[in-house]
Amino acid sequence: MKVLVRAAAAVVVAFTLTVVGLVAMVLFDDDAEAVEVSGGDGAGGLKGVPEEFRTWILKAAEECEQPELTPALLAAQLYQESRFQTRARSHVGALGAAQFMPGTWATWGRDSDGNGEASPWDAGDAVMAQGRMMCSLIKQAKSSGYGGDARSLALAGYNAGWGAVEKYRGIPPYAETQNYVKIILSTMKRFEGPDRLRIEGSGSGPDALRKAAGRLGTPYAYGGGGPQGPSRGFCSGGGGYRGGTCVADDTVGFDCSSLVQYAYWPDLKLPRTAAAQYGATSDRAVSRRKLKPGDLLFWSHGGSGAIYHVAMYAGDGNVLHAPRTGKTVELAPLTTAMPDADYYGATRP
């Protein structure tokens, strides 16, 4: 990830408050150069965030029962705090992408990514802690009886401490805090993608679809991806090229079959290619009118030996798939995801 921030555009703000161990932040002018991120068209309710943050932002928003805590709000807040820099550090001791002070981290930090350490330097740990804290603050804001938007009050509490919000019965009259709230709410739009896919039911199909939906917006990388997630692709034959230039070897993402393999792994260890996945599941064929979420759909140039694409049925006549070089994992109508004349059939893993 490459981040360019002009020193003159940063104003470091520290508060001396009666509440100990709050988050600190760096305020950035709105015209500061944006972070350069991989990713595409912003499907999945989120766009414009680095891949290492995407899944965690979506997860943090999903786990909060307060609907005001959207992925775009969390992303805008992270962008304002650190420009998505996992090693960010302020002069007052705030650490990581979510800029937690040590005292606050002791309350909210957990080992969310399962690497054996709860660390504000880890993207997953930081984002999930940010989500838990913001979720709690929004809940407090909604029950406080104070005037104003619950999101604004929560952001003010994250920045200045909830004690300051209680003292002034609203957003504190600190210019820095008021600017913090204003900037984040005004920049949320840049991170808002289409509505997230809502998946009902349980079982291997819906569960696999939920897992794959967490990767909406991930770049297509020919030959890339696998059971553990996205990875760098490669160019071979006619695959991985765009405009005559090999782009796969510089792209971290999934191709169509690796996304499916990732979605079902480890409960069902499907083979790597679309043709092999059809061969492994063809004894459980499903008619087009009886499709269920998580079913696999295949397209072919002629026969089972020429299958070239696989997608997952997402309900309501849509599929979730990694379509081709230059695109991202997306939700698309079954009738237009690939040439309809090439549709070969569907199976239920």
Distances (CA, A) of 308 to 21, 273, 298: 55, 9, 8
Q: What is the DSSP letter of 198?
A: P
Q: How many CB atoms lie within 10 A of CB 58?
A: 24
Question: Which tokens belong to 225?
Answer: 């991806």
Q: Which helix or strand (DSSP H or E) is residue 162 part of? A: helix 162-168
Neighbouring residues of 169: CB distance < 8 A, sequence distance ≥ 6: 146
Counting other chains too, the contacts that 236-245 makes at CB distance below 8 Å and 24 or more residues apart are 239/325, 240/325, 241/325, 242/325, 242/326
* Angstrom distances, CA of residue 121 to CA of 89, 118, 295: 10, 9, 38
CB of 217 closer than 8 Å to CB of 328 = yes
Cα separation, 22 vs 44, whole angstroms? 31
CA nearest to 68, candidates 159, 173, 185, 163: 185
SS3 at position 239 = strand
Ordered DSSP codes for 12-49: EE----SS-S---EEEE-TTSPPPB----S-TTT--S-
Catalytic residue among 33, 63, 68, 81: 81
Tokens 């291997």 sit on residue? 204
Instruction: Based on the residue annotation, tell me whether 81 is a catalytic residue of this protein.
Output: yes
Q: Which residues contact 29 (CB under 8 A, 6 or more apart)?
A: 9
CB count within 10 Å of CB 243 equals 7
Q: List the structure tokens of 128.
A: 């999930």
Residues marked active site are found at: 81
